[in-house]
Amino acid sequence: MLALESHVRALPLVIRLGVVVIAFGGLADLVTHLSFADAADPGGHTPAQLSAHAIAFAGMVLVFAGVVVDGVRQSLVR
């Protein structure tokens, strides 16, 4: 556990924030897709489902931005 914890702490803050946002979006997506209120609309996504997808996508963008910024920062240091 300590080895994993040290690796997580080594990640930039933006990446850690993005992972948390992805987890929240994934949980929201799971809840919205499993709700029985949406069973009457088999042809599309409800606004709640679209919002959950947008949250998860925003988390992915944060992780990607963190990876790019950290890579650029490390290449400038060398």
Q: In angstroms, rounded to a whole number, what is the distance separating the alpha carbons of residues 48 and 71?
A: 35
* Element holding 36 (H helix, E strand): none
22 contacts 60 by C-beta, under 8 angstroms: yes
Summarised one tens digit per residue, pLDDT across range 16-73 is 999 999 999 999 999 988 886 656 566 677 888 899 999 999 999 999 999 999 888 8
Q: In angstroms, rounded to a whole number, what is the distance separating the alpha carbons of residues 72 and 18?
A: 18
Confidence (pTM): 0.81
Buried b (16+ CB within 10 A) or exposed e, 39-67: eeeeeeeeebbeebbebbeebeebbeebe
